[in-house]
Amino acid sequence: MDFRLTKEEESFLKEVQDFLDQNLPDNWIGLDPDGHNEQGDEELHRFDLEFRRKLAARGWLGLQWPKKYGGQEAPMMKQFILEQELIYRGAPYWAVSAALMIGDTILQFGTEEQKRRFLLPIAHGEVQWLVGMSEPNAGSDLANLQLRAVEEGDYFVLNGQKTWQTGGHYADWVCLYARTDPNVKKQKGITTFLVDLKSPGITMRRISQMTGHPAFCEVFYDSVRVPKENVVGQVNAGWSVALFGVATEKSFGYWLINSGRRDLELLIRYCQETEVNGRPMGKDPLIRSRLAQIAIELEVGRTLGRRLHWMATKGMPIVAEACQLKPFGGGILQRLANLGLQILGPYGQLDEKSKWVKLRGRMKYLYLASAAMTIEGGSNEASRNTVAQVGLGLPRS
Amino acid sequence: MDFRYTEEEEAFRREVQAFIKETVPPGWLGVDPGPEEESREDVYPLALKTWRRLGEKGWIGLTWPKAYGGQESPLWKEMILLQELSHHGVPGVDVSSAQADLVLTFGTEEQKKRFIPPITRGEVKWCIGMSEPDAGSDTFAVKLRAVEEKDCFVLNGQKIWSSGAHHAKYEVVYARTDPNNKHLGLSVFIVDLQSPGVTMRQIMQMTGLAPFCEVFFDNVRVPKENLLGEKNGGWAILLHAFGAERTYGLFVLYNAKRYLEQLVQFCRETHVNGEPLAKDPIIRNKLAQMAIEIEVGLNLGHELSWLAMQNQPTVKASSQIKVHGGGVAQRVANMGMQILGLYGQLSEDSKWVKIGGRMRHTYLGSVGFTLAGGTSEVSRGHIAGKAGLGLPKR
């Protein structure tokens, strides 16, 4: 058993750290790994685009992809190191990961022509993608999706709606899952489409969020024509494409943990610098005890995450482990945010524009944002069901 | 709305406290309510003595009709008595009163005259024969068979988790008289545990005590006069028993209050690094948290008592208090073990033991509180259902 990185991996990590030191502003508070900060704020979005281009210029988008599609054919571990460090530092990464996931999907199921058409622009950081899965009646029960795609000559015609489309208003293309056959078992009638969001018939409506960063959209498809060459894989074989896509999103739990490390460090610094009754808060035994508790949980999560990565590099199935980590990570961030608000006292409620605000309002933002983290990208309940079935071998309920 | 007790109620409470002082030995650290700790050799004689003395004072069956030895007192008197007995950890009170309540509600005049007075005099103990290996939360899955013959019923089968059966004279047994009707096929019998064919086996628990029994019935003949209520009418008695069950959570909470007080005293007296533990902010914080949770529970208990006295339904409140109380007791026990450090693991006969080994006992014993007498899951089901939130059944 060896928990160390190789020399090569260490030096790549250092490269990434230097890149971040140069390209993140001083006193950078950091963004959440779910992309809601930057997809919900115009200024942060511009920073996201700029940052993405810099990543692309270093050749760091699509690290594992074949070189002919803009990748580096690098080992999986390199990708893990890059993404975890970016997330730990709170750099904007969500849009990159969505695009990479779709790129991975195209690599796995797409035609040569599709790979040539779509992968290079992703590697160059030029295109923002949406994941078109959830609908009002299809969340945890994704197979229940109803957006209809009807074959008409050289096209499919789409009618219906998607929801919880993160960054929809900024996106260029969507990889969407639609129902092509309503007469068979629901998993067997789904097809995957790549749709240009400039197509006629597409309208969007932003969804307001309590964080004040409206990152989500509802996207409506009204007789939208999609050329047949934009079908990924076989018609009616989209469910296995969806499962593949969802499986690649397995790192989200570990992202939550790494993001949490940054937020905890922020709180610790605050406690070291802030005095109450003539004494730094960092000396208060109760506060120390609570900060330590979060630190322990994060460290446990980190170790689980590193094991998850190792298993992935060995090609071992990681579904159960990933589903363990996600509820764990989401819960820690909620507890961290709670603790942050208690430590900050009434200051914790101030908006970031207030002249008395502390930590630029990060704890308030996290308190509101973390409510979603045990729901989005796989609810805790769905995750635990997977742990029970796949991990523990218990029968379906 | 008035949260105070009346003068009369307070006076009775003081009377009970005086009684307790005379009854328990000096330095009494208390035991958990119910038959649990009566299995201890040194506790059982005290339990018998207390039960008898309660009988002499007329404090068993306070609310029962005078014709059977009761006092026809208002319910608040009984609640205060039970609060104080639990708080001070006095042994002797068990399920006998609840079984007598069933006889009073469903029994014939002859049965009431025969069975109730010895209970009010504190002369006999009763136990419950409800659960079976395959019938716990699913009470109606009872299989123990009762076949009607000319002059008696013949019982065959097994009960489990009968607390205090090895000390009891009678067991209220829920048996199946109709194997073809799950819910309308149960009858209730009062069985003399000395009857031929009855054997028992005590079940050893991790506390080191064995208050529970498996009770085996091998062609046990029960006279027809010992059928309680209607044949196949056991469902009504079960429902009544569940609805009337409102003391378990309360017992557990008043019991936990005593443990917390012992812990607070311990923290006052014990110095670590030159300072009493009671000055440590983390410990104070933890003790305060438990005090809050206990106080919340006790207030819920006052509401429960008030509802009972108004003859209003108490299923929701008693379910809430049972869930809350069980959790509180476990957290107090956990906290106690942490505060005591390594001493917490010592058994009571060790010369270095603290608080008489009570923390270790409750750490092991409180595990069962969220299971016995109705699991927390079942209780939450009641709260979710028509007694509480009105959510539809799954």
pLDDT value of position A250: 66
- Whether residue B238 is contained in a domain is answered as no
Collect all residues of chain B within an 8 Å Cβ-Cβ radius of residue A286.
Answer: 281-282, 285
CA distances (Å), origin A381, targets A326, A384, B32, B80, B391? 11, 5, 37, 44, 20
Shared domain check, B251 and B226: no
Q: Provide the residue range defining the domain that includes B279.
A: 245-384
Rounded to the nearest angstrom, the minimum Cα separation between A286 and chain B is 6
Which one of B282, B284, B289, B338 would you mutate to disrupt binding with A, by most A Cβ within 10 Å of its Cβ?
B282
Collect all residues of chain A within an 8 Å Cβ-Cβ radius of residue B283.
Answer: none
For A148, phi then psi, to 5°, come to -95, 140
CATH at residue B138: 2.40.110.10
- Whether residue B302 is contained in a domain is answered as yes
- Whether residue B393 is contained in a domain is answered as no
pLDDT value of position B42: 87
A-contacting residues in B 235-294 (Cβ below 8 Å): 280-282, 285
Cβ–Cβ gap A286/B280 under 8 Å: no
Instruction: Provide the token pair at B69.
Output: 């030895």
pLDDT value of position B234: 96
Shared domain check, B168 and B189: yes
For B231, phi then psi, to 5°, come to -65, 135
Which one of B277, B279, B285 would you mutate to disrupt binding with A, by most A Cβ within 10 Å of its Cβ?
B285
The segments of chain B whose pLDDT lies below 50 read none
Tens of pLDDT, residue by residue over A305-330, are 999 999 999 989 888 889 999 999 99
Collect all residues of chain B within an 8 Å Cβ-Cβ radius of residue A284.
Answer: 281
Shared domain check, B275 and B148: no
Nearest chain B residue to A288 by CA distance is B282
Shared domain check, B362 and B263: yes
Shared domain check, B367 and B273: yes
Among residues B196, B157, B194, the alpha carbon closest in space to that of B176 is found at B157
pLDDT value of position A249: 66
Collect all residues of chain A within an 8 Å Cβ-Cβ radius of residue B281.
Answer: 284-286
Nearest chain A residue to B285 by CA distance is A286
- Residues B167 and B125: beta-carbon distance below 8 Å: yes
Tens of pLDDT, residue by residue over A186-240, are 999 999 999 999 999 999 999 999 998 999 999 999 999 999 999 999 999 999 9
| Domains, chain A, with CATH or none | 7-123 (1.10.540.10), 129-236 (2.40.110.10), 249-391 (1.20.140.10)
A185 pLDDT more than 90: yes
Cβ–Cβ gap B282/A286 under 8 Å: yes
- Whether residue B285 is contained in a domain is answered as yes
Collect all residues of chain B within an 8 Å Cβ-Cβ radius of residue A283.
Answer: none
Which one of A289, A291, A293, A339 would you mutate to disrupt binding with B, by most B Cβ within 10 Å of its Cβ?
A289
pLDDT value of position B121: 92
Collect all residues of chain B within an 8 Å Cβ-Cβ radius of residue A289.
Answer: 282
- Whether residue B390 is contained in a domain is answered as no
Domain stop point among B89, B105, B120? B120
- Whether residue B290 is contained in a domain is answered as yes
Rounded to the nearest angstrom, the minimum Cα separation between A342 and chain B is 15
Tens of pLDDT, residue by residue over A258-281, are 999 999 999 999 999 999 989 999
- Whether residue B389 is contained in a domain is answered as no
Shared domain check, B141 and B74: no
Instruction: Provide the token pair at B106.
Output: 């469903």
CA distances (Å), origin B212, targets A63, A218, B34, B193? 65, 60, 11, 15
**CB within 8 A of B189, min separation 6: which ones?**
B146, B153, B155, B172, B173, B175, B222, B226, B227, B228
pLDDT value of position B247: 80
B-contacting residues in A 277-316 (Cβ below 8 Å): 284-286, 289
Which one-letter DSSP state was computed for residue A370? G
Shared domain check, B142 and B89: no
Q: Please give the single-letter amino acid code of residue A93.
A: Y
Give the total number of structural domains in chain B.
3
Strands B186-192 and B227-228: antiparallel
Nearest chain A residue to B279 by CA distance is A285
Shared domain check, B261 and B175: no
Rounded to the nearest angstrom, the minimum Cα separation between B282 and chain A is 6
Instruction: Provide the token pair at A79.
Output: 């990708």
Shared domain check, B380 and B249: yes
Q: What is the DSSP track for A112-181?
A: HHHHHHHHHHHHTT---EEEE--BTTBSSSGGG---EEEEETTEEEEEEEEEEEETGGG-SEEEEEEES-
- Whether residue B252 is contained in a domain is answered as yes
Nearest chain A residue to B284 by CA distance is A286
Nearest chain A residue to B280 by CA distance is A285
- Give the position of tokens 């309940």: A381
Tens of pLDDT, residue by residue over A57-112, are 999 999 999 999 999 999 999 999 999 999 999 999 999 999 999 999 999 999 99
For A197, phi then psi, to 5°, come to -75, -5
Tens of pLDDT, residue by residue over A352-368, are 899 999 999 999 999 99
pLDDT value of position B381: 87
Shared domain check, B224 and B136: yes
Rounded to the nearest angstrom, the minimum Cα separation between A12 and chain B is 43
Domain stop point among B232, B255, B278? B232
Q: How many contacts does A have with B, using Cβ atoms within 8 A?
A: 8
CATH at residue B258: 1.20.140.10
Cβ–Cβ gap B280/A285 under 8 Å: yes
Domain stop point among B185, B206, B232? B232
**CB within 8 A of A109, min separation 6: which ones?**
A192, A232, A233, A241, A244
A141 pLDDT more than 80: yes
CATH at residue B38: 1.10.540.10
pLDDT value of position B289: 95
pLDDT value of position B373: 82
Shared domain check, B96 and B134: no
pTM equals 0.83
Shared domain check, B377 and B338: yes
